[in-house]
Amino acid sequence: MGRKNNYKITEPMLNEYYDLSQKKKEIENQLDELQKVFHGFFDHQVGEYEKGELILNNLKLERIIRKKEKYDEEMTVNKLEELNLSDLIQIVKKPDGDKIKSAINLGLLNEKDLEGCISVNSSQAIYVKPLKNK
């Protein structure tokens, strides 16, 4: 865009950002509506959660189905223990943040004791909003 090293912010830049973000929301809503229609079409033509494709002129509409298996933790652990297959069970030790905070608040644990153990992740976000006229 040519603004890589230019950190001056102008009103036209803010207006452009705001306008583009509004257009992005509109486009995302339109895409969501079209996807609902496409899924409805495939649900009717080939069945729910079935892959399908439609070719119109030089465009191909394709629905793929992604499947993700997840074991019910409690039920699976119980079943594996019944089958004496405990080697297939992970034992995961991890700190309980809520209990640690409670212990600090109750004075059972000093924050200094955990120095170096806490990492903080940060992320940045930009918002441009119109101000209401007074």
The pLDDT of residue 77 is above 70: yes
| Chain centre to alpha carbon of residue 81 | 34
The pLDDT of residue 2 is above 60: no
Contact 131, 11 (CB under 8 A): no
Give strand pairing partners of 59: 56
pLDDT in the model for residue 124 = 84
Residue with structure tokens 């002129």? 57
Question: Comparing C-alpha atoms, which of 56, 53, 23, 25 is closest to residue 38?
Answer: 53
pLDDT (mean) for 32-61: 95
